[in-house]
Structure 1
Amino acid sequence: MEASGEEVISVEDEAVDKSKFKTCKQIAFYRRQKQLRLEKSLYQALLDTLDITNDSIKFQVINEECKIPLSVEICEIEDNIFRLKINEIKPLKPRYEVPDVLIKEPAKFRLNISERDAGKLVLACASEDQQLHITANPFQIQFVSKDEIVLSLNSRGLLYFEHLRSPPHLRKSTVQENVDGSSASSEENQDVLGLWKENFGGFSDIKANGPSSIGLDFSFHGFEHVYGIPQHAETFLLKNTSEDDVYRLYNLDVFGYKIHSKMGIYGSVPLLLAHKPDRTMGVFWMNSSETLVEIATKAAMKVVPSGSSDISKQRVLPQTDVRWMSESGIIDTFILMGPRPFDIFKQYAQLTGTQALPPLFSLGYHQCRWNYEDEKDVEGVDAGFDVYDIPYDVIWLDIEHTDGKRYFTWDKKKFGNPMRMQKQLMKKKRKLVVILDPHIKVDPLYTIYSQAKQRGYFVKDRQGEDFEGICWPGLSSYLDFTNPEVREWYADQFAFKTYQGSSEILFAWNDMNEPSVFRGVELTMQKDCVHHGKWEHREIHNLYGFYQQMATAEGLIRRSGGLERPFVLTRSFFAGSQRYGAVWSGDNKADWSYLKISIPMLLTISMAGISFCGADVGGFVGNPKPELLVRWYQAGALQPFFRGHANMHTKRREPWLFGEENTRIIREAIKERYRLLPYIYSLFYQAHTAAEPVMRPVWVEFPEELETFGIEDEYMLGNALLICPVTEPKVTAVSVFLPGQQEIWYDFRTFKCIEGKGIVKIPVTLDHIPVIHRGGTIIPLKTSVGKSTEWMADVSYELRAALDYKESAVGLLYLDDGHSFQYLHKKQFLLRKFTFHENVFSSRCADENGQFCTKCIVEQIVLLGVKKQPSFVTASIHDGKDKAVAFTYDAKSSVLTLQNLSLNVGVDWELQIK
């Protein structure tokens, strides 16, 4: 029976109803694993089974009680990465191994044995100062660097592996053996442990092959600061957990999610980073089933490598224990050895890929609402930006633009001429984004449904019928994006001849792809549903949204003949989602606390490889007061993805609806974003090529400075700008931590050097939030702002150089056409390096492969921290004569401005300041 629109909306409009979502104690595999309370592992390594090949070592471990052996494979991957895989030797059927997340099978090094006896194995690594120590009984692996243990696996004896088995009625005995060897013969006990069936919220999850969970403990020695494992509405620095409150990685549609909660929300990246002043490490737990993570930081006696008798080296150090538990699959984990933060980012990107280089327009401002009512509404909002002189690039349409929430269609009354609407936007050099969710309305007359039905493209229930659940259209079936054939077919739907009414300026938004099922268990799909390859949904749940975004991005690329970059925003994500577009933090609220928590949420996502991330400006749920809206615009304008969005039940909140003064301030914040786009676009190039996060925690730039490790209310935008959003009302001053003993910091807008080190008080008005320019860096900006990014292609540049204590500075500018793959296929790009040193400002090519031609010029250079007025300035161009340069000098602020330069961005030149 189809639900009415009112029924569906009421489901979504509720605040978080905790009863709809499991607590950790209601998760059966967690209850089972928590019964294992040992400090000595039940597993013993059988080193006599050792098999050494050119690229890995393999041996067996056996559970001493149930006597079931497992296969262990260890290999070293280039760039200081190790991989550990543990699997059943002869499973009842193959166990799920996560596909498509790794960009390629990593190249491996040979591990050499440097020591071996009956109870211990020492492996020499590619780096001479690193070793792996494997202890046989109890089984344990230690990672040793410079004669110190930095990480140990299974040192707490929590390796857990439930082997697949046939149901009790098919076996001679009904006694159910658990992984630890104990019996659970009674049906009542089996139900308590959720071995073959698990009940929640009126739903039964039938487990055809019984329990299949896995777990392993990791101990970081000397570390007390850990980060990562998005997505949670929680602090940036991960907290110690309790038995009632562990971090959950399980993608769920949690409308108006609760703040400071470890419950899973829309996305999951099972990457955890540990940091101390002299080292950063990471663990990537590649498992897409429901995953729980326990964390405990404590003081512990420093351990020495197994077999060492040097007790004098023991001392009390912090230690962080991390326990991973997943419902199914295998143990497939990557150890990222760092040792520096940027090494970790590159190591993780080597596995899962870097951030896709976005089209330039997508870094502008996006205006969204659920929903702009019709074409006239779109036209009016678009015109409003011009009337109020506010730049923007993209207007968005939510579900109401479709014909009865049938995706790839248009409401014939409200959007009767979508091509005309898009042509009007084209004239303004603006774009359109429309929503495309994974659920498909059950309607035989709807082409998308009928084709998918006929071809068997929907996820099945456990009886083999198409799974049907309630979502926005009412009764819906869900496309099985895990099937490559479905992804190919879905990508073809974006062809202009197929997607009637679409044009080259239309881009995509994947929402509700956790997947969301309004009357489903925990508002999502049942775990015993079946996907392509006969894999249960429990195996792939956290990958579902990843696969939809993959197919959508491919569709947008394919419709252009492979020429144009896509833009796809997704709500649900996993490791590797950075390759396909952007993510956002979901259905937040118009409340100061949600503005505040958005910073650690975005930092955590950024640290997990997804640089293109943002939070809905103003809050999706509720009506922001003008001050909150202004502060949110100021914050959002200096974050990677910048979109205003609102629920259909909120008051209209276009930027000009809150009075002339607030409109002015919002306009200034958005225009500042547009002036900064050359810097932001260059940061995305660095993210794309070198895996450097666009938005990064302060400690990444200052890894040895302990005071920065817990900072989450300020952050670095690239390496040059320190951003401190105002996240409380009626603030007249903010405390900002200025790191670095020899750093010089300047106010980005007044150019004045900021006095003081450590925590400084900075006065603020409603006009601005603190933006602080780091000495030693050069930022490229546009000298003026247009209606959208395309209007600004030929606008001249300003280079702003903030000098450090050595009176030097350096910076980069990346340029290409902003929309195509020509930068990749035809080397149509420019990368310029600007340097100021010993009173010479120079522009040089930073990548000789670049062939992009531009008429753009550097019109002005502003140098902050120049201690004395020069006598004259001359410009030297590689094929021209020297010429004098006009300049002004402000002795009070120590600012030197070089004017009317007309220096081509794409050629080498230098300025002599004497």
Structure 2
Amino acid sequence: MRNKRKYIRTTGIILLFCVVLLNTACASKQKEKVVLELKQGLLSLIPLNQNAVRVQFFQPGSAPMEELIYTEKLPVPEYEVTEDKQSLVLSLDEISVEFDKGTEVLTFKDANKRIILQEKVGGRFMKVSSVQNEPTYQVEQRFVSPKDEYIYGTGQFQDGYLNIRGLTRRLTQVNTQISIPFILSSKGYGLLWNNYGLTDFNPADKFVELTPANASGEAVTVNTTGTSGNVRETRQTYSFTASVEVPRSGSYSLLLDVGQRMARKYYLVIDGQKIVDVNNLWLPPTTSAIVELTAGKHDIEVQGERNDKPVLYWRPVSEETVFRSPVAQMLDYTVFAGNGDEVIASYRELTGPAPMMPLWSLGYIHCRERYNTQAELLENAREFRERKLPIDIIVQDWQYWGKYGWNAMKFDEDRYPDPRSMMKELHEMDVRLMISVWSKIDAQSEVGRQAKEKGYYIPGSDWIDFFNPDAAAFYWQNFRTGLLKYGIDAWWQDATEPENDDLQNRRINREQTPGEVYRNVYPMYVSKTIYEGLRQDDPDRRAMIFTRSGFSGMQRYAAATWSGDVGHDWETLRRQIVGGLGQMATGLPWWTYDAGGFFRPGDQYTNTGYHEQLIRWIQAGTFFPLMRVHGYMSNTEPWRYGEKVEHIIARYLDLRYRLLPYIYSQNAAVSFNGSTLMRPLVMDFPEDRFALEQNYQFMFGPSILVAPVVESGVNRMKVYLPECAAGWVDFWDGTPHKGGIFTDINVDLMKTPLFVKAGSILPLGPQKQYAAEETEQPWEIRIYPGADGSYSVYEDEGINYNYEKGQFSTFDLKWNNSDKTLTISDRKGSFAGMKERMAFNIVIVTPESGTGIYQSKVNKSIVYEGKSMVISL
């Protein structure tokens, strides 16, 4: 019989105990954890939340790392510890972890005592190592991964894999790759690997170095970007060859490392079969694939740049998931139990909520590389308004600093003579400005000379050492005095990796620490500096920070990311959608891409093939957390591409703005409830195998299924409708469909497949030119019949932090499908400028009503004055 002991915190006092275990010395229940003394070291089980337990394995006397991820000081949750001869169990309401005294394995179970995750026997590993001649540890943990498990996450990668079970990845921060050591499983758990440096996911230890064979093709000179602006490079393809021998037939995970800080091309052929073929002006240094190989010898060819030194790593795909970090103080991970929403909500509760994004940030963000003058920027903003194309943010990209030096935090008055008047005119048009600011500063600029004198650079680089609090404060002081004074609305912190994974072999924090220790968290330090500065010095303006890289916990700094400097082709479009969904699985909620691709074809304005690509990029991006266009050396405004393209883009801008009541309410759900707006299907359909295998479909909020068109010339498309008891309704024509089936959908250039879950209620606003535009036009409340449903509508001022003081309102919409009634609840709360009376057109969606982008047939029109109403339909 198990000897069960319950320990409850009372008046801040925690009981201590010590029991003898079979193969361990002692277990003690301290104030916030249980510590097991093993022969190899100390193992701590730390309850963080009712569904979250942190595990740490370390050597006695080891100093813990600075806590960067878990910043929220929550009360220690009540938990139980029970033990018998075989095991010790720590139990909370929604998770338990069992320590097996014989194998020393940890097993995690959910509230129903179902195993969700288990360590492998002998899978805990800690080895003394060094970095820059300083002592450190290499740590590794292996977990059991059943064949039917699907795993998502680790951030935004360019390998095209959404389900990463068995896949090898190297987590570093570079342009187009955002590395976040968090995974979400279909088995009902999430796992955060608590390490700030490089992490290998499912590392492959077998490798072969490829040898140069010959050059192929003509050398090509290209325009591209660098840390000092636009650059021209001459590139020529070289072939590299090798052979590998595998002992048995089966699935193998491959990792190709090109041997440079950034790649220009991935091209991998095995036995004449093309495995990977990706071109871009910039790519991460590694990429991954899973292939089937027969036992025996295989010929390998890689194509790349002359200076590449490619190495191919491989490992058999097996029933395990592995995390390994070469630089660590301890082995440290946290397991969260629950479905996707429960996991992410708990993660945010512990690491900090995502602040509300401004209302205007959820409209259209227009960007190009670049506006060259104040006059040019204003001219294009005016034309958006004249053409009645909705827009909320126009973006000034780099080099506005001109003669003052890179990122001098001032405008060159030769091209931007009066930034204050520029801001005034933009705001009079109800257009906001986002501006590019870098963490790199020209050492010859006025600000740079001061930084150099004070020792605020990371030695050997032009990157500010944000790990040094004095350097971060210096950066913010110049940011505030140089730019904040103009009333700029949003901040684009570019190249915050820092670019090219530039902390390797460098010293940080006044040269006290090897850069490898904090290799992946530089973007967090940058965003923290800007966000905390804005909250202090611009407290009445809701912050929006846009940054190219991220890390766990960074959501608390109002930081959104995008997928970096990508190409424009169909394969790149597909990889960006997958990459974005991979990031959504890690708990960072705000993301987008350069719609249309950053690197575009030279004939983009007349190339009809590219026009099709551009339209599909924009259609998919309409349903991302943020909607944005950008392009290199391009005038990206919709009218540049002809009337047909402009017309289609205008329709999707209208749709985005009509959806704003829905999107903004989900913005509140992200902030208050830890929700996710762009949702990989594992979040809503974790037991539907076919849903889990869809790489490009996703949910937009709780109601809308998006199936982007990601190939050329599509006029009929197969879409999977996940298992859903009441089925789905086609957004465009109102046709009902069963769930759990594949269905063929007619597609044209005007339409991307959209389906709404039966029982959903969609609040749609009127057409607008900007998010906060006041209009007397009614909202449309679309009811998708077939099941009962509800939706909570959230409103506030949209521009400040008064919502943190309780100044917001909500009301609930509830549909009773059997008696065909819609109930609108009493409005709760209030805020300055709230509309006391709201006009609603209520529509039950059928093939004859409530379809497509614009308002149509109405079942009933009402005026809502904040009091409960029951409407029979």
Normalising TM by the smaller chain, what interval?
A: 0.7 to 0.9
TM-score, scaled relative to structure 1: 0.75
Q: 2:298 matched to which residue of 1? A: none
2:781 is paired with a residue whose SS is: strand
Per the alignment, do residues 847 and 85 of structure 1 end up closer, same or farther by CA in structure 2, a change over 3 Å counting?
farther
Counterpart among 217, 227, 230 of residue 142 in structure 2: 217
**Which 5+ residue runs of structure 2 have no aligned equivalent?**
1-20, 205-249, 252-316, 605-609
Q: 2:101 matched to which residue of 1? A: 135
Alpha-carbon separation, structure 1, partners of 2:148 and 2:75: 29
Per the alignment, do residues 558 and 863 of structure 1 end up closer, same or farther by CA in structure 2, a change over 3 Å counting?
same
Residue 684 of structure 1 and its aligned partner are, at CA, apart by 1.2
Q: 2:493 matched to which residue of 1? A: 510
Whichever structure has more strand as a proportion of its residues is 2
Q: 2:195 matched to which residue of 1? A: 287
2:614 maps to 1:611: no
Per the alignment, do residues 753 and 109 of structure 1 end up closer, same or farther by CA in structure 2, a change over 3 Å counting?
closer
1:224 is paired with a residue whose SS is: coil
Q: 2:512 matched to which residue of 1? A: 534
Q: 2:460 matched to which residue of 1? A: 468
Supply the AA of the counterpart residue of 2:790.
V
Alpha-carbon separation, structure 1, partners of 2:22 and 2:408: 54
Q: 1:592 matched to which residue of 2? A: 570
Counterpart among 859, 863, 866 of residue 902 in structure 1: 863
Counterpart among 179, 195, 198 of residue 268 in structure 1: 179
1:687-706 pair list within 5 angstroms: 687-706=670-689
- Aligned CA RMSD, in angstroms, stands at 2.9
1:310-325 pair list within 5 angstroms: 320-325=319-324
Supply the AA of the counterpart residue of 2:691.
T
Counterpart among 677, 699, 705 of residue 722 in structure 1: 705
Supply the AA of the counterpart residue of 2:128.
H
Residue 139 of structure 1 and its aligned partner are, at CA, apart by 3.2
Supply the AA of the counterpart residue of 2:577.
I
Residue 772 of structure 1 and its aligned partner are, at CA, apart by 1.4
* Count of matched residue positions in the alignment of Structure 1 and Structure 2: 727
Alpha-carbon separation, structure 2, partners of 1:88 and 1:45: 20
1:479 is paired with a residue whose SS is: coil
Alpha-carbon separation, structure 2, partners of 1:633 and 1:354: 29
Structure 1 runs of 4+ aligned residues shifted over 6 Å read: 849-852
Q: 2:175 matched to which residue of 1? A: 253
Residue 588 of structure 1 and its aligned partner are, at CA, apart by 1.1
Contact 2:838–2:863, Cα closer than 8 Å, also in 1:
yes
Per the alignment, do residues 352 and 500 of structure 1 end up closer, same or farther by CA in structure 2, a change over 3 Å counting?
closer
Supply the AA of the counterpart residue of 2:418.
N
Q: 1:814 matched to which residue of 2? A: 794
Q: 2:380 matched to which residue of 1? A: 381
Deviation per residue, 1:334-365 (Å, 9 max, x gap): 44342322211222112222322100111111
Per the alignment, do residues 236 and 781 of structure 1 end up closer, same or farther by CA in structure 2, a change over 3 Å counting?
farther
Residue 848 of structure 1 and its aligned partner are, at CA, apart by 5.5
Counterpart among 56, 65, 69 of residue 101 in structure 1: 69
Residue 776 of structure 1 and its aligned partner are, at CA, apart by 0.6
Alpha-carbon separation, structure 1, partners of 2:54 and 2:739: 46
Contact 1:738–1:760, Cα closer than 8 Å, also in 2:
yes
1:226-625 pair list within 5 angstroms: 226-239=151-164, 241=166, 246-253=168-175, 265=177, 267-276=178-187, 280-294=188-202, 320-331=319-330, 333-403=332-402, 404-443=405-444, 446=446, 448-459=447-458, 467-469=459-461, 476=462, 478-495=463-480, 498-499=481-482, 502-516=485-499, 524-531=502-509, 534-560=512-538, 562-580=539-557, 581-623=559-601, 625=610
Residue 856 of structure 1 and its aligned partner are, at CA, apart by 5.4
Deviation per residue, 1:541-570 (Å, 9 max, x gap): 11101110111122233332x222111101
Supply the AA of the counterpart residue of 1:252.
V
Contact 2:143–2:320, Cα closer than 8 Å, also in 1:
yes
Contact 2:50–2:93, Cα closer than 8 Å, also in 1:
no
Contact 2:157–2:579, Cα closer than 8 Å, also in 1:
yes
1:429 is paired with a residue whose SS is: coil
Deviation per residue, 1:370-418 (Å, 9 max, x gap): 2111112112211221232211111111112113323311122111211
Deviation per residue, 1:253-273 (Å, 9 max, x gap): 36xxxxxxxxxx2x2211112
Supply the AA of the counterpart residue of 2:104.
F
Which stretch shows the higher mean deviation, 70-79 or 422-431? 70-79
Alpha-carbon separation, structure 2, partners of 1:420 and 1:851: 28
Per the alignment, do residues 337 and 366 of structure 1 end up closer, same or farther by CA in structure 2, a change over 3 Å counting?
closer
1:162-241 pair list within 5 angstroms: 162-163=127-128, 207-210=132-135, 212-221=137-146, 223-239=148-164, 241=166
2:26 maps to 1:49: yes
Which stretch shows the higher mean deviation, 754-763 or 655-664? 754-763
1:436 is paired with a residue whose SS is: strand
Deviation per residue, 1:608-665 (Å, 9 max, x gap): 11221011100001225111111111111111111111112xx423111111111101
1:441 is paired with a residue whose SS is: coil
Residue 690 of structure 1 and its aligned partner are, at CA, apart by 1.0
Contact 1:295–1:322, Cα closer than 8 Å, also in 2:
no
Q: 2:772 matched to which residue of 1? A: 790
Which stretch shows the higher mean deviation, 530-539 or 339-348? 530-539
Q: 1:647 matched to which residue of 2? A: 632
Per the alignment, do residues 147 and 349 of structure 1 end up closer, same or farther by CA in structure 2, a change over 3 Å counting?
closer
Per the alignment, do residues 253 and 585 of structure 1 end up closer, same or farther by CA in structure 2, a change over 3 Å counting?
closer
Contact 2:182–2:190, Cα closer than 8 Å, also in 1:
yes
Deviation per residue, 1:56-105 (Å, 9 max, x gap): 22133334xxxxxx2221122322211111222134xx46x242321324
Alpha-carbon separation, structure 1, partners of 2:29 and 2:681: 43
Deviation per residue, 1:713-747 (Å, 9 max, x gap): 21110111111111111110111111225223222
2:748 maps to 1:765: yes
Which stretch shows the higher mean deviation, 77-86 or 358-367? 77-86
Residue 148 of structure 1 and its aligned partner are, at CA, apart by 5.3
Contact 1:493–1:555, Cα closer than 8 Å, also in 2:
no
Deviation per residue, 1:653-701 (Å, 9 max, x gap): 3111111111101111111101111111111111111111101122322
1:83 is paired with a residue whose SS is: strand
Alpha-carbon separation, structure 2, partners of 1:548 and 1:210: 27
2:831 maps to 1:831: no
Contact 2:126–2:140, Cα closer than 8 Å, also in 1:
yes
Residue 327 of structure 1 and its aligned partner are, at CA, apart by 2.0
Per the alignment, do residues 389 and 684 of structure 1 end up closer, same or farther by CA in structure 2, a change over 3 Å counting?
same
Alpha-carbon separation, structure 2, partners of 1:330 and 1:793: 58
2:589 is paired with a residue whose SS is: coil
2:129 maps to 1:150: no
Supply the AA of the counterpart residue of 1:272.
I
Contact 1:358–1:567, Cα closer than 8 Å, also in 2:
yes
Contact 1:507–1:556, Cα closer than 8 Å, also in 2:
no
Contact 1:828–1:852, Cα closer than 8 Å, also in 2:
no
Residue 842 of structure 1 and its aligned partner are, at CA, apart by 1.7
Per the alignment, do residues 295 and 845 of structure 1 end up closer, same or farther by CA in structure 2, a change over 3 Å counting?
farther
Residue 794 of structure 1 and its aligned partner are, at CA, apart by 6.2
Deviation per residue, 1:473-502 (Å, 9 max, x gap): xxx2x222223344344334443xx12584
Deviation per residue, 1:444-464 (Å, 9 max, x gap): x51x324434444333xxxxx
2:575 is paired with a residue whose SS is: helix
Contact 1:54–1:109, Cα closer than 8 Å, also in 2:
no
2:843 maps to 1:843: no
Supply the AA of the counterpart residue of 1:86.
F
Contact 2:761–2:790, Cα closer than 8 Å, also in 1:
yes
2:713 maps to 1:745: no
Alpha-carbon separation, structure 2, partners of 1:764 and 1:149: 43
Alpha-carbon separation, structure 2, partners of 1:429 and 1:846: 29
Contact 1:111–1:123, Cα closer than 8 Å, also in 2:
no
Per the alignment, do residues 131 and 85 of structure 1 end up closer, same or farther by CA in structure 2, a change over 3 Å counting?
closer
Q: 2:839 matched to which residue of 1? A: 858
2:75 maps to 1:75: no
Alpha-carbon separation, structure 1, partners of 2:35 and 2:635: 62
Supply the AA of the counterpart residue of 1:406.
N
